[in-house]
Amino acid sequence: AAAPLWGGRFASGPSPEMAALSLSTHFDWVLAPYDIAGSRAHARVLHRAGLLTADELDGMLAALDALAADVASGAFGPVPADEDVHTALERGLLDRAGKDLGGKLRAGRSRNDQVATLYRMYLRDHARRVGVLVADLQAALLDQAEAHPGAAMPGRTHFQHAQPVLLAHHLAAHAQALARDLDRIRDWDRRAAVSPYGSGALAGSSLGLDPAAIAAELGFDAPAPNSIDATASRDFAAELAFVLAMIAVNVSRWAEEVIVFTTAEFGYARLDDAFATGSSIMPQKKNPDIAELARGKAGRLVGNLTGLLATLKALPLAYNRDLQEDKEPLIDSVAQLELLLPAVVGMTATLRFDTARMAQMAPAGFSLATDVAEWLVRQGVPFRVAHEAAGRCVAVAEGGDKDLIDLTDDELAAIDPALTPAVREVLTVDGSLASRDAVGGTAPVRVREQIADLRARIAAD
């Protein structure tokens, strides 16, 4: 049976109520492989410090290998009396190495430095996996952009028609946000790559152990410079919770557009059957559940971030058991993104755009009015006057129930003598798009460069 990791000064074991509240194996078991990796490294530094003989080290590593195999196969797992992943693995080690040898491993370490280290390892690993999935979504967006190089669509502000843009430019805008998310993961990892191992409970180790050696073996850049901070801080978790929430929020903005674009009113795109659902009662329905779940899960990830920050607020140094509440939010955020992103990638890759419909809508809502104003500015008209004249063009066209390009020569001249028939050269969507050719603009030549640049950044990772 499992025994707690303490006992000498206790007359009884924990009450059932205490044990039930304390239990964390139902969520912290995901740390098991990292805990075993930490134990291997710890055994080696114990040996180098003269606290394990060469034979004992061999025996310890063999027992840890056996334990790792049993954990991986599922043959070994936590039982209800194991308080946490560390307690369970200690029991597993004692079973395999014997109590005398197995009981030596705990020297010079505490669950406080262990858990802080393992949690960083787990998060660094999963942040990398999430990063790969984010890059997959970028690639799906850019594939769609490149498949529709000349397609125009209405660009919106305030969700109203604003100015025509290229579909490729719009899709690349989402890819740009995801590129910053990938930067954030990379930048976060530099700060997370510091190993708390060797900090002990809070004050450091007295047994001549080498934190730098453990840090290197576990893939960290350096050992933590302060044992109190190393065991007490969780800003590495909160920061990643933000980065993951930001990813979910960015994905939710694309998801919301997919939901809108696939309505009958918009008709910009259709979902592939494999990435949509039907209705149990309405036979005609095709629902964008993936996009809706993306929207919904973004809220959940924001909650995980705010919940963790609330846990950390005003906690005194160093370790407090409150810190055990650090895990479920992030384990959940990671799991949700690892589930969600592949589905969003598939939905995005298989989306079929109706470019004719989008092109038809691109000039609607007088979205070329800015082009009229800017054409007048190029003729030397002050912008204030030009804006007014273009606004009059909209009013006259709206009153006559026609488009700007259908205004007669007389109507144009009556609005402003500077409005000669030549203005019609900018009253096409293609003319408008091509004219916005400064860096970052929606002109086809600039969008091609932008996509090539994003592709290069993805390839460099």
- The answer to whether residue 320 forms part of the interface with ligand ARG (CB under 6 A) is no
- The answer to whether residue 9 forms part of the interface with ligand ARG (CB under 6 A) is no
Among 41, 94, 115, 269, binds ligand ARG (CB under 6 A): 115
Burial of 422 (0-12, 13-18, 19+ CB in 10 A): exposed
Q: Is 86 a catalytic residue?
A: no
Total site size for ligand ARG, rule CB under 6 A: 8
- The answer to whether residue 318 forms part of the interface with ligand ARG (CB under 6 A) is no
Task: Name the 3-class secondary structure at 222.
Answer: strand
CA 313 to chain centre: 24
- The answer to whether residue 24 forms part of the interface with ligand ARG (CB under 6 A) is yes
Q: Which of 15, 158, 206, 280 is catalytic?
A: 158
CA 350 to chain centre: 22
Among 84, 181, 210, 332, binds ligand ARG (CB under 6 A): 84
- Closest contact distance (angstroms) between CB of 441 and ligand ARG is 51
Q: Under a CB-based contact definition with an 8 Å cutoff, are residues 292 and 259 in contact?
A: yes
Nearer to ligand ARG, 311 or 348 (CB): 311
Q: Is 39 a catalytic residue?
A: no
**288-307: contacts with ligand ARG (CB under 6 A):** none
- Closest contact distance (angstroms) between CB of 27 and ligand ARG is 9
- Dump the DSSP string for 113-161: HHHHHHHHHHHHHHHHHHHHHHHHHHHHHHHHHHHSTT-EEEEEETTEE
Nearest 10 degrees: Cα torsion 336, 339, 340, 344: 170
- Closest contact distance (angstroms) between CB of 80 and ligand ARG is 15
- The answer to whether residue 120 forms part of the interface with ligand ARG (CB under 6 A) is no
- The answer to whether residue 232 forms part of the interface with ligand ARG (CB under 6 A) is no
49, 133, 201, 202, 226 from 206: Cα distances, Å: 11, 43, 12, 12, 15
CA 347 to chain centre: 17
- Closest contact distance (angstroms) between CB of 105 and ligand ARG is 16
- The answer to whether residue 323 forms part of the interface with ligand ARG (CB under 6 A) is yes
- Closest contact distance (angstroms) between CB of 93 and ligand ARG is 17
- The answer to whether residue 324 forms part of the interface with ligand ARG (CB under 6 A) is yes
116, 132, 259, 272, 298 from 277: Cα distances, Å: 42, 27, 13, 10, 20
Nearest to 230, CA basis, from 113, 139, 361: 113
* Catalytic residue positions, numbered: 158, 279
User: Rule CB under 6 A: which residues touch ligand ARG?
Assistant: 24, 84, 111-112, 115, 321, 323-324
